[in-house]
A and B are shown apart, each in its own frame.
Chain A
């Protein structure tokens, strides 16, 4: 019977980029009606492997079988014809086009002219899978989750029966993730084969049937999800026993660093995103900021860093008002921000420059004389590579070539190493593997013990409860509560985030 055939089978796949061996001796298989999770540290070659199924890369050696037939995938076109649909780590959408245009793009259909009945078909697909979409909306006006919906419909539109998702949940809120998983289960019922990449172990355990683990480009194990645990998966991934716990050192500084008074901030379009908030940040403290995505976290960060103008209120740093100062002046005063944007590559790094030059971007004006000295930056880069396990052929390789997670480590490492007094991190571990995430938590704790005041904008409430001293909850741009992490539960935070108490004013 057809159901017995493997939808995908990869045998002894190898892929190199110059001297970098990204994949080696990889075996992997997925049955129809099965969800396989692909797990591995940053830079272990997951994206590379999947890109060989989607026709972006060609393997150096090894063979690919689809539905039992040996195939050669030379282009994305071939891959689509074989029924493979991939949702990429960095979305592949044309920003200037509408959702509908993106969906029918390149679809092999009859007719020279664009037919208007396409929206019909899109609507029908959305209904069948319970997806919501405005098909005439332009992609650049969409939120990340809307973009992802477009990507999913695009794949369904081509009637793909093999679906690959590269870190689809990294940028989604828990609710959106839940919805995505429902769709995946529906596809599984319909007999599709699904491969999903994610760094979140709870998601792996929740959604997958089997897990294949990659380590340093090789497939080291495949296990049944039902018979494994987060601990075992981590150890397989890292290759040695690891301890998954977050320290919570006590500090005794008792000194106020930042005081925010009645801050109101508008975004670029002029909407009030932060409405009259007041809080303070002490030395040696981690203040968590929780909230549903889009509650004003981004605007708060940007206002503190001097990137967005403040409409009302004051930001006092050692009693000096930062409002109206330029970003450069603010950095000089020792306030450092690392914001991991939703599209990850965007903010803070120059993609085509190497690590060394990216370090210099932040510090070049500290040197004397007209020439920059690369020596210090080079050493810093090398230290970060060691400390954060950054996988890169050299410190001069353009950062765009690094894997998604490693790009992020570069950004974060640079901010921490600039020895700030105030460190603002947003979504610091987005897209990082579990081991690196804990390395980052340790680094943040280290800074805290040095007396740095840290504003930690996060998504994972469990982590925040362990790591932070106090947690401030934002809802619709207002503070709905500032609580001691010790005295609060996840459920209470959840209520504050949705503002069940009604303190946050108007609801939308």
Chain B
């Protein structure tokens, strides 16, 4: 029971992990992109569309990544090159992304004459499989080594991003750009290029989160109204919970995943709470996390100092 619960928590937390990692990469370079929800929506649609027509998981993921990059590119052009307000641009991207996915989603439904459904072959490719040998270990095998391939992908990306941030030269340069673009610029770092690069990669990773939602959580059926459903927003909040560290986001998304599946695992005859309470729970926790973390004061593990402010070299 507990194992099943944790297993489900990991499954539900994975899209959040994608979204959070993507947003961390974006914020670390000094841009607050509130368009995660939109980018996830676009990724969800694109991956489903491609999977529906090609039956290929790799192509579906590439498509999700690509559309995320494209959405982030719009955001980057507006904020980095044209100095548009980051909050407004991000919010607009969310609205745009949601509309984009719903519009083309409706077209796809029309075309298919009913809710489109992914082929059995494809669903098999993304199904949960125990890794040979490792998967046979009791408890641990089920918990850690019996997931669908995207779970491993999410964890691998989060760990790679952490290593990149902390151990590489370009990761250091990128953190400097996020903290103090003026200083980074004076040190000879190309601020614009650095920002573009990481905003785009961050967007791509968010797109993958969308793919997870439509390909796995959706059960292979396209549902036009509730694919992403606020997960993008929770991801943004999780960035703070994870104190801008993708490795910590693994834990964070697990916790949030646990809350979102809690309703199915609390025995109904013991505690009786309306379902709506459980649906609300992740958002309630998000609120608390935001309140608690905003009281914490330290330079490390807090928002990059230059985050949210556009940089123009000649302005002082």
A interface residues with partner B (beta carbon < 8 Å) = 17, 54, 56-57, 75-77, 79-81, 86, 88, 91-97, 101-102, 104-109, 111-114, 138, 140, 154, 400-401
Contact = CB atoms under 8 A, between A and B. Distances in A.
A102 B184 CA distance: 9
Interface in B284-316: 299-300, 304-305, 313-314, 316
B179 A106 contact: no
Interface of B: 167-170, 172-173, 175-176, 179-180, 182-190, 299-300, 304-305, 313-314, 316
Contact of B180 (A86, A95, A107, A138): A95
28 contacts: A54-B186, A56-B185, A56-B186, A75-B185, A75-B190, A76-B186, A76-B188, A81-B188, A86-B186, A92-B187, A94-B176, A94-B180, A95-B179, A97-B175, A97-B176, A97-B179, A105-B172, A106-B173, A107-B188, A108-B188, A109-B169, A111-B169, A112-B169, A112-B170, A114-B167, A138-B300, A154-B187, A400-B316
A56 B175 CA distance: 20
Q: Which 8 A-B pairs have the closest CB atoms?
A: A106-B187, A92-B183, A92-B186, A106-B189, A77-B188, A106-B188, A80-B188, A105-B187
Contact of B184 (A91, A105, A154): A105
Nearest to A112: B168
A88 B186 contact: yes
A386 to B, nearest CB: 25
A106 B316 CA distance: 21
A97 B305 CA distance: 11
B190 A96 contact: no
B179 A56 contact: no
Given A105-B173, A112-B168, A401-B316, A93 B180 contact: yes
Nearest to A89: B316
A287 to B, nearest CB: 36
Interface of A: prevailing SS? loop
A54 B190 CA distance: 14
B182 A92 contact: yes
A92 B313 CA distance: 13
A349 to B, nearest CB: 14
A114 B188 contact: no
Contacts of B189: 77, 105-106
A86 to B, nearest CB: 7
A95 B305 contact: yes
Contact of B179 (A76, A96, A113): A96
A59 B305 CA distance: 30
Nearest to B183: A92
A417 B116 CA distance: 74
A111 B179 CA distance: 23
A140 B165 CA distance: 20
Nearest to A110: B169
A96 B186 contact: no
Given A94-B184, A95-B299, A108-B188, A56 B314 contact: yes
Given A96-B175, A96-B304, 17 more contacts: A56-B186, A56-B313, A57-B314, A76-B185, A76-B186, A92-B186, A93-B180, A95-B305, A96-B305, A97-B172, A101-B172, A102-B183, A105-B189, A112-B169, A113-B167, A138-B300, A140-B299
Contacts of A77: 188-190
B186, B299, B313: most-surrounded residue (chain A CB, <10 A):
B186
A76 B173 CA distance: 15
Contacts of B182: 92
Contacts of A107: 187-188
A190 B304 CA distance: 39
Contacts of B170: 112
Contacts of B179: 94-97
Contacts of A86: 186
A249 to B, nearest CB: 39
Contacts of B299: 95-96, 138, 140
Nearest to B304: A96
A400 B184 CA distance: 20
A368 B314 CA distance: 40
A247 B188 CA distance: 49
A75, A106, A109: most-surrounded residue (chain B CB, <10 A):
A106
B300 to A, nearest CB: 7
A140 B305 CA distance: 12
A93 B183 contact: yes
B172 A96 contact: no
A17, A80, A94: most-surrounded residue (chain B CB, <10 A):
A94
Contacts of B187: 76, 80, 92, 105-107, 154
A449 B243 CA distance: 56
A22 to B, nearest CB: 11
Contacts of A91: 183
Contacts of B169: 104, 109, 111-114
Nearest to B186: A92
Nearest to B171: A114
A312 B20 CA distance: 49
A87 B187 CA distance: 11
A146 to B, nearest CB: 16
A114 B187 CA distance: 17
Contact of B300 (A79, A94, A96, A102): A96
